[in-house]
Structure 1
C-alpha cells in the first residue's frame, strides 16, 4: 500500500468513503460468511430527531452525521455472538456481561430496533461508576474532593459531576462517542466503570481502527527479530494521520472532566493514555 494514502478531509465525505469501501469489501467475501453482502442502514433526519425526543438526548454534529450515513449494518459482524440471559444477581454476574438484554443482532447499535440495548447503554456509565464508587474498591477521583463516608454522598457527588461532563452516547458494545461540549475534542471511549480508555481520538480515527482490514489499512510485516517467522499483520506504517493520532501525549491534550477518569489506572511516571497506542518509554516522550 502507498504510505502516502490520504483520506477525505470532510467528515461527510469520509463517512461515505467508509460506507462504499466496506460494502465493497463485504460484497466480495465468501457466501458462507455471515457478513457477506452487508449494507449500512442510515437514518433520516426525522428518525434522528425522534430518537432525541424519545431518549431525552442530543446527538453531537459528528454523531448525527454518523447516523445519517452509516448507523449500523444489516447483518451480524461475525459468527461469535451468543445469546446472553439478563443477569441480575452478583453470583450470576461474575465473569459475564452486566445488564445484557437477550440478544444483540448487529455490530453497531441499531437505534430503531434495539430498544433494550440502547436503554441499557444509556444507563451503563452511571450504573458502572456508581457500582465502582459504592463497591469494595471505593474508586474516587481527586477532583471530586474528600471522599465522604456514606455511599449516598459519594454517589450524589458523582452524579452532579456526571451531569456537567460532556455526554457520551453509545456506538457499539461499551464504546461511546463524546460530544465535544464546545471544547473541540470528540474522542471515542470504552467505558467499564473506572476502566475508561481511549478507543479513538475522533470518530474518523475510531472507524479507521475498527475497519482497518476493510479499508485496506493493514499490511503483513516480516522481522527476523520477531516471533512470527511467517510475518504479522499490523496497521500500515508511515500513514501520517494514523501516526499522529496514535502518539498523542498525555500532557499535550486535555479532555474536560473525563481526562482524570481516562488516566485513573495509568502509572504516574508515564505520560501516556491508559490502554492506548502511545509511546511508553520516557526516552520516546
Structure 2
C-alpha cells in the first residue's frame, strides 16, 4: 500500500484511489483478515461521484448561510459522495428479524431535503430532551429553568440560533464551522448525547473508512466482534505464557507512545463554542469527550446522573 500523503488534497485523491480499488475487488480486499462488518458488502463496486465546482460550493454557502472550511471545500471538489449507500443492521423488536437500513456514506449537497433535515437534526433532539424527556435536560449556561414553557422555549431557541455552527458531513456527524480553520473538529451528535468524534476532517475520513482504506489492523474476538483493549489482551497473553518479557517491554513502550499521542491530541483540541457544554453534559473527564479514537480500547464515558425532577 502506498504511504498516506501528508498534503490534504493529495490525501483525498489517495482516499479515492484506495477505496475504489478495495471496493472493486472484495474477494481480494477481504483477505486482510479484518472482514468484520459484512454490511460493507453493499459498497461493492462503489465509486466517488458528482464532485462540486467552486461556483457550486459558493452558491451552497449562500443558500444555507454557512461557511465551509477550506479542507471541506476540497473534499466536496474531489470526493463529495459515493454512488452506493452504506447500511446498518436493525432488529425488529417483535420478530427479532434483522434488516438493513440504508443511508449515504457522505451527504449529497445537491439533495436539498437531506441537507435541510441534517441541519435541523441536532436541534430537534435538543428540544426533545428539554421538553419531552422523562429526565429533561437544561444547560447550566441557560441559568435557572423558568417554570413557564414559553420562557424555556425562548431561551432554547435563542441558544439554537447561536449554536448553528454545524456542517453536516455524514450520518449524525457534523463539522464545527466556528472558528473557521484548516482543522475544524467533528462531533457526533444526538442532541445532548454528543461527543467530539474526530479532531479534523483527515482523521474523520480515516475513522469512517478505516477498513475501506485497508488501515484496520485490529484483531476481533469471535464472540463479540470487538477488539479487546490492548492492555487486557497483553495481560491475558502474559498469563498464558504467550508473551515474552521482551515483548512485554515492547508493549509497555507502545503504551507510552500511545499515551503521548493522546497528550498531543489534547493539545490540538480547541474550544467548541456552545457545543462543548453539551459534550460535557453527560460526561466527566477529557477521555469521555472523544479525545480518543471512537471505540478505541472501548472506554466509556462516566455518566453524570441527572435526577428525575418529578
> Same fold judged by TM-score > 0.5?
yes
Bigger mean CA offset, 23-32 vs 148-157: 23-32
Shift of 1:158: 2.5
**CA–CA separation in structure 1 for the residues paired with 2:53 and 2:76:** 8
Q: Residues 183 and 201 of structure 2 are in contact (CA less than 8 Å); yes or no, is this contact kept in structure 1?
A: no
Q: Which runs of 5+ in 2 are unaligned?
A: 29-39, 91-100, 220-232, 241-253, 301-310
Shift of 1:224: 7.1
1:171-192 per-position Cα deviation (integer Å, ceiling 9, x unaligned): 1111111113247761111111
Length-normalised TM-score, structure 2: 0.66
Greater radius of gyration (CA): 2
**1:258 match:** 275
1:137-192 per-position Cα deviation (integer Å, ceiling 9, x unaligned): 22111122222222222232233233333610111111111113247761111111
Alpha-carbon distance change, 182 to 217 in structure 1, aligned in 2, over 3 angstroms: same
**CA–CA separation in structure 2 for the residues paired with 1:117 and 1:30:** 33
**CA–CA separation in structure 2 for the residues paired with 1:263 and 1:47:** 36
Bigger RCO (CA 8 Å, 6+ sep): 2
**2:59 match:** 50
Does 2:47 align with 1:39? yes
Q: Residues 251 and 271 of structure 1 are in contact (CA less than 8 Å); yes or no, is this contact kept in structure 2?
A: no
**1:163 match:** 161
Shift of 1:271: 3.7
**2:77 match:** 68
Q: Tell me the SS of whatever aligns to 2:145.
A: coil
Alpha-carbon distance change, 182 to 169 in structure 1, aligned in 2, over 3 angstroms: closer
**1:116 match:** 113
Length-normalised TM-score, structure 1: 0.71
Does 2:143 align with 1:132? no
RMSD: 3.6
